Amino acid sequence: MSTLFDPTQAGDIRLANRIAMAPLTRNRAPGAVPNALMAEYYRQRASAGLLITEATAISPQGQGYADVPGLYSTEQLDGWKKVTAAVHQAGGKIVTQLWHVGRISHIALQPGNAPPVAPSALRANAKTVLIKDGVPTFTPTSEPRALDVGELPGIVLDYRHAARYAIASGFDGVEIHAANGYLLDQFLKTGANQRQDDYGGSVRNRARLLLEVVRAIVDEIGGGRTGIRLSPVTPANDIVDDNPQQLFDYLLHHLAPLGLAYIHVIEGATGGARTLPDRPFDYASLKAIYRKAGGQGAWMVNNGYDKALAEAAVAAGADIVAFGRPYIANPDLVERLRRDAPLNPPDRDTFYGGGAQGYTDYPTLTG
């Protein structure tokens, strides 16, 4: 029987264990450029089987939070090269999470102070992070404008270019962020998508943009280096769908033939309850549909896992378990889980923004 600490494969990526570090936005990239402090942060956590970077914008328009990194300029690529080199030198594997926030943004973060873009002109009851006088400040998102259908091929191209730049920067692959109420998830779900064209209405139409993005990235870098993150029922960022089971069953059936490295599924509410009585969902059925349709990618589960839950998930057939917040305060989380050692408590005041404090200064078991 497989254990949490056994090696596994995610497409073309060989992992030393079945533990992944989930994406964690930390707002430590002034000017959207990765830096030496970030390289040290990821290097410290390289014992994870797979590191997934914080969400990384594919374009200036895709930015939605202050001091988060991008992957569209030469300076950004040079910064990421230092991160990937540090992780690889420490023996780790790392992919970057490709992100377009859609309506979860603010005019202060958009080129020319333009409105954020979205499938429909529906403002989200959500907040983003601005840095004011050096202090991270949660601020309501701005009113978005609806994307014209003629703009969508350009967004697909931005994703494709970002994937190319990721490989050029030394990443082992990419994860497409299609979860948590950001742009691709907004197109998927009825609560944010009220379009009347080929990208709205039916399940097939609402899934169209995401599938175009995935196919473009697979064409660019190969399915074996491409993962995707999904959150069928999370309410994060004011997102909801009328029939998520139907939607995601359709989506996984059509993702299956694309040869993806892994499917990363957030179970329940992101960072919250694992089950939602008002939003029931059958994850086992979803996985079965993916496998029946020929999907071979590793199945990654996420949300509120501790060691006992993770071991049970692997025993039940999960290939990888992603841990999020425990990695903030425990760079050596793999070894702590292996030894059943206590975990460092995180300093919540330093989650977003700042410097080394609460970022790279947490102690390890070896000092």
Give CB contacts under 8 A, 24+ apart, made by 348-352. 351/26, 352/25, 352/26, 352/27, 352/129, 352/136
Tokens of 194: 């009220």
Instruction: State the Cα–Cα distance between residues 190 and 206, nearest whole angstrom.
Output: 8
Residue 233 backbone phi and psi in degrees, to 5? -125, 5
Measured CA angle at 125 (ends 121, 130), to 5 deg:
95
Instruction: State the Cα–Cα distance between residues 362 and 283, nearest whole angstrom.
Output: 35
Instruction: State the Cα–Cα distance between residues 162 and 61, nearest whole angstrom.
Output: 13
CA torsion through residues 204, 206, 210, 216, sign? positive
182 as an active site residue: the answer is: yes
User: What is the b/e burial string over 237-274, where b = at least 16 CB atoms within 10 angstroms of the residue's CB?
Assistant: bbbebeebbebbbbbbbbbbebbbbbbbbbbbbbeeee
Q: Which of 42, 65, 182, 327 is catalytic?
A: 182
Query: Is residue 245 within 8 Å of residue 282, measured between CB atoms?
Result: yes
Instruction: State the Cα–Cα distance between residues 104 and 110, nearest whole angstrom.
Output: 11
Which amino acid belongs to residue 224? G
Tokens of 247: 């939607």
Residue 131 backbone phi and psi in degrees, to 5? -100, 115
| C-alpha torsion angle, residues 157, 161, 163, 167 (rounded to 10) | 160
Active-site residues: which are they?
A: 182
